[in-house]
Chain A
Amino acid sequence: MQPILKIDLSTGLSAEFIIPPEWEQFFLGGSALAARLLYPYLTAALEPFSPEAPLLFLNGPLSGTIGPTTGRSVVCGKSPATGLWAESNVGGFWGAELRFTGYDGLWVTGRAEKPVYLWLDDGRLEIRAAAGVWGRDTYDSQSLIKAELQAAGAHVLTIGPAGEQGVLFAGLFCDHGRTAGRAGLGAVAGSKNLKAVAVRGTHKIPLARPEEYNRLRSEANHAIKADNYSEVLHALGTAGAIDYSDYLGALPKKYYHQGAFETVDKVSGSSMAETILAGSSACHGCVIACGRVVRLEDQQKRKGPEYETIVGFGPNILNDNLAAIVNLGEICDRYGMDTISASNVVGLALRLFELGLLKESDVGFQLHWGDVEAVERLLQLIGRKEGLGEWLAQGARRFAAHFGVEEEAVQVNGLEVAYHDPRGVSGMALVYATSPRGADHNQSDYFFVDWGQVEPSLGLQFFSKGAGAEKAANVARHQDWRTVSNALVICLFANQPVETVVGLVNAACGYDLDVPGLLLAGERGWNIKRAVNNRLGLTRANDRLPKALLEPLADGPVAGFVPPLAAMLEAYYAARGWDPLTGKSSRGKLVSLGLEDVAIDLWGPE
């Protein structure tokens, strides 16, 4: 891979960092490599908003090539929301453009005296004043910085007012509305007075065997384009999953407390396609184009919502007005907030109001299910950290704790749960409980396996969507696979065989990996992230689900069912080779993965 550029915003100094070659093959790239690189620096004592806290933007070895789905990059650090490992990846074109500058990553520390943005133009770094864009929303900031630079082809990754003000679910945005949303890393950037990073470059992506790679990526792109799943994503966006997810009982409603919502179809990808859809958008190197472009009554083209935003601001708050969801999603985007966490915390507020635990005097107005105007007011308060927004901006766990009912927050380790209910797709119980950044659907989209996407070459078996401990090893295997995806920073929506990815990695990097070898790298990545979290204080007690997900729903297709989490976890630790008492990777497991130094760090000298 190419070097990483280290930048200290306190001093303004920068230096190249060469990635140790043995770590490249061991961890592949992306978030797994980032966990290895940041391991010594992420300590329990490190304050996420301190100048010392690192913010590492990183690509993978396939990033920036002409596919398949190679337009993503990842940002990593310590989450201010969870106090644990944080990674959040983003599509669009920014990550590819970063690679074109000749650097595969940016490692930012320090704090600028005044707001700044970085301008990396073909390897030349400039730290520029951001006074003119500080306070501006993410859409305007991108436009203003591009106008100021007058540099055709530049791409801008920026925070919004939420990141500037330390909203704990603030993200980073590029290419209009592409989002690194989760875990609050936008707020970490804000704490450094770092408004944005603009990049442009002309460097060639390094490939070990370019002819072989180009043949394989062409074949892979054609196969992905012809795939059923791609066809659904292209036609309907990720929201194409809404009807079936609802049928399975996996679509949360009324903040995870209701099993049926008759008008779900009004907000489905199918309905969007038949009503307000005006086009689609794609990331770099993508033949799927799952991004939505919609047109509302004002006839302006807007970013259309994806699955999570629709469910979060739709059934989650008992709203079936698709146009209102578009609007609420845009408000989050402009402030620079993650829509999963924002809609989750809003749903929590509605629930607490219904329970009488939150009063009109606390909010300033009444809250009722389906009242999108009230929800919009809440989002404005959060984005500005005004009134109740000061507490909502701390995320669901802290907000609920402030009102003495932490158990009401549907979160794991401080990260709000994504919209795939484990009572409908039980594999997600383990995924949420054990994911390194909290309740996360991107460390394993196992709901898709519970649908039936049982990739034979992964060695997965098919279990019913309500199965328990018997699917634990399956989940672990799938997490390893998705750790590979997140190390390569390729899109999870590319429904391709593992063998294809092995071929691409080997051709790009000059390796001779086989499928087990690739998955071993994934397992190594999963375990290094676990070890980072163990250093940050995570124990077995953190592997949990919130109360709401362990209580049966009274209605809907999965009424009465809860996943048997305790038995699943027991089987999971065994499958992982983790110590069942502490929840740490065992010494033997770490050594077998080549992580001897981590074994000594976690367990002491033998």
Chain B
Amino acid sequence: MHAKFPSPEWVRELEQKLNSDEHYARTASKWEGDMLIVVEPTGNLTQRLYYYFDLWHGTCRKAANLPGPEGLKPAFILTATYDNLVKIVTGQLNPMTAMLTRKLELHGNMAVMMRNVPTVLDFVRCCTEITEEIL
């Protein structure tokens, strides 16, 4: 249940984790909305990455790494540089700190988001728990 970040395996592992983690299932039970994570190239990453997660009532209905955002209208878009995202998924950077100090950009329905901050934090916890190695 561990994978290298970023990689297609990491996305698959995260999908499995989200669908098997009881704490996430409870915390995210009211979450409705898909999410696109945009990774801006910095450090070892040379091209932009797009990770898509269709999250619904504590489950992940679909996870994919995509070549681009074309055709998508995700409920939420999270954007971070590769370096900052590495810090987040390895637990070196608190996700709230990232959001509040301009290291993780967030777009979407804020009414939904602010009701569900714990879901986002638990999503990140799941990320950290499956991340074994960095590119």
A interface list, Cβ under 8 A from B:
223, 226-229, 231-232, 235-236, 240-241, 243-244, 247, 265, 268-271, 273-274, 448, 451-456, 462, 495, 497
Residue contact B114 to A240, C-beta cutoff 8 Å: yes
Residues of chain A lying within 8 A (CB to CB) of residue B75: none
Residues A231 and B106 in contact in the complex (CB < 8 Å), given A454-B97, A455-B101: yes
Residues of chain B lying within 8 A (CB to CB) of residue A229: 100
Residue contact A243 to B100, C-beta cutoff 8 Å: no
Residues of chain B lying within 8 A (CB to CB) of residue A274: 111
Residues of chain A lying within 8 A (CB to CB) of residue B104: 228
Distance (Å) between the CB of A456 and the closest chain B CB? Answer: 7
Q: Which of A228, A243, A265 contacts B105 (CB 8 A)?
A: A228
Distance (Å) between the CB of A364 and the closest chain B CB? Answer: 40
Which residue on chain A has the smallest CB distance to residue B30?
Answer: A265
Residues of chain B lying within 8 A (CB to CB) of residue A497: 102
The docked-state distance in angstroms from the alpha carbon of A455 to that of B102 is: 10
The docked-state distance in angstroms from the alpha carbon of A223 to that of B102 is: 9
List B85-115 residues whose CB lies under 8 Å from chain A. 94-97, 99-102, 104-107, 110-115
Distance (Å) between the CB of A97 and the closest chain B CB? Answer: 32
A-B contact pairs, 7 of them (CB 8 A): A228-B104, A232-B113, A236-B110, A244-B117, A270-B111, A454-B97, A454-B100
Given A244-B114, A452-B95, 15 new contacts (CB under 8 A) = A228-B99, A235-B111, A240-B114, A244-B117, A247-B117, A270-B112, A274-B111, A451-B96, A452-B97, A453-B97, A454-B100, A456-B101, A462-B97, A495-B100, A497-B102
Q: Is the interface of B mostly helix, strand, loop or mixed?
A: helix
Which residue on chain B has the smallest CB distance to residue A244?
Answer: B117
Which residue on chain B has the smallest CB distance to residue A457?
Answer: B101
Residue contact B110 to A231, C-beta cutoff 8 Å: yes
Could you tell me how many residues of chain B have their Cβ less than 8 Å away from some Cβ of chain A? Answer: 20
The docked-state distance in angstroms from the alpha carbon of A243 to that of B95 is: 17
B118 at the interface (CB under 8 A from A): yes
Residue contact B106 to A228, C-beta cutoff 8 Å: yes
Residue contact B110 to A452, C-beta cutoff 8 Å: no
Distance (Å) between the CB of A450 and the closest chain B CB? Answer: 10
Distance (Å) between the CB of B101 and the closest chain A CB? Answer: 6
Residues A243 and B101 in contact in the complex (CB < 8 Å), given A451-B96, A452-B94, A452-B96: no
Residues of chain A lying within 8 A (CB to CB) of residue B95: 452
Q: Which of A223, A240, A451 contacts B110 (CB 8 A)?
A: A240
Distance (Å) between the CB of B55 and the closest chain A CB? Answer: 18
Distance (Å) between the CB of A351 and the closest chain B CB? Answer: 29
Distance (Å) between the CB of A42 and the closest chain B CB? Answer: 37
Distance (Å) between the CB of A226 and the closest chain B CB? Answer: 8
Residue contact B110 to A243, C-beta cutoff 8 Å: no
Distance (Å) between the CB of B95 and the closest chain A CB? Answer: 8
Residues of chain A lying within 8 A (CB to CB) of residue B113: 232
B interface list, Cβ under 8 A from A:
94-97, 99-102, 104-107, 110-115, 117-118
Residues A270 and B100 in contact in the complex (CB < 8 Å), given A231-B106, A231-B110, A462-B94: no
Residues of chain B lying within 8 A (CB to CB) of residue A223: 102
Residue contact A452 to B115, C-beta cutoff 8 Å: no
The docked-state distance in angstroms from the alpha carbon of A229 to that of B96 is: 11
Distance (Å) between the CB of A495 and the closest chain B CB? Answer: 7
The docked-state distance in angstroms from the alpha carbon of A448 to that of B97 is: 10
Which one of B99, B100, B105 has the greatest number of beta carbons of chain A within 10 Å?
Answer: B100
Residues of chain A lying within 8 A (CB to CB) of residue B105: 226, 228
Q: Which of A241, A244, A269, A452 contacts B111 (CB 8 A)?
A: A269
Residue contact A243 to B115, C-beta cutoff 8 Å: yes
Residue contact B111 to A454, C-beta cutoff 8 Å: no
Which residue on chain B has the smallest CB distance to residue A247?
Answer: B118
Residues of chain A lying within 8 A (CB to CB) of residue B118: 244, 247
The docked-state distance in angstroms from the alpha carbon of A454 to that of B34 is: 29
The docked-state distance in angstroms from the alpha carbon of A269 to that of B104 is: 22
Q: Which of A232, A448, A452, A462 contacts B114 (CB 8 A)?
A: A232
Residues of chain B lying within 8 A (CB to CB) of residue A454: 94, 97, 100-101
Residues of chain B lying within 8 A (CB to CB) of residue A235: 110-111
The docked-state distance in angstroms from the alpha carbon of A231 to that of B101 is: 13
Residue contact A453 to B114, C-beta cutoff 8 Å: no
Residues of chain B lying within 8 A (CB to CB) of residue A236: 110-111, 114
The docked-state distance in angstroms from the alpha carbon of A454 to that of B102 is: 11
Which residue on chain B has the smallest CB distance to residue A223?
Answer: B102
Residues of chain B lying within 8 A (CB to CB) of residue A456: 101
The docked-state distance in angstroms from the alpha carbon of A222 to that of B110 is: 19
Residue contact B97 to A270, C-beta cutoff 8 Å: no
The docked-state distance in angstroms from the alpha carbon of A243 to that of B105 is: 20
Residues of chain A lying within 8 A (CB to CB) of residue B115: 243, 265, 268, 270
The docked-state distance in angstroms from the alpha carbon of A454 to that of B103 is: 12
The docked-state distance in angstroms from the alpha carbon of A274 to that of B110 is: 11
Residues of chain B lying within 8 A (CB to CB) of residue A268: 114-115
The docked-state distance in angstroms from the alpha carbon of A533 to that of B108 is: 46
Which residue on chain B has the smallest CB distance to residue A269?
Answer: B114
Give me the 9 closest cross-chain CB pairs, A-B, nearest first.
A452-B96, A270-B111, A235-B110, A453-B100, A452-B97, A244-B117, A273-B111, A228-B106, A452-B94
Distance (Å) between the CB of A471 and the closest chain B CB? Answer: 15
Distance (Å) between the CB of B97 and the closest chain A CB? Answer: 4
Residues of chain A lying within 8 A (CB to CB) of residue B110: 231-232, 235-236, 240, 270, 273
Residue contact B100 to A228, C-beta cutoff 8 Å: yes
Which one of B97, B110, B117, B118 has the greatest number of beta carbons of chain A within 10 Å?
Answer: B110
Residue contact B114 to A243, C-beta cutoff 8 Å: yes
Distance (Å) between the CB of A515 and the closest chain B CB? Answer: 15
The docked-state distance in angstroms from the alpha carbon of A462 to that of B97 is: 9
The docked-state distance in angstroms from the alpha carbon of A497 to that of B100 is: 11
Distance (Å) between the CB of A560 and the closest chain B CB? Answer: 20
Residues of chain B lying within 8 A (CB to CB) of residue A243: 114-115, 117
Which one of B99, B107, B112, B115 has the greatest number of beta carbons of chain A within 10 Å?
Answer: B115
Which residue on chain A has the smallest CB distance to residue B113?
Answer: A232
The docked-state distance in angstroms from the alpha carbon of A228 to that of B112 is: 14
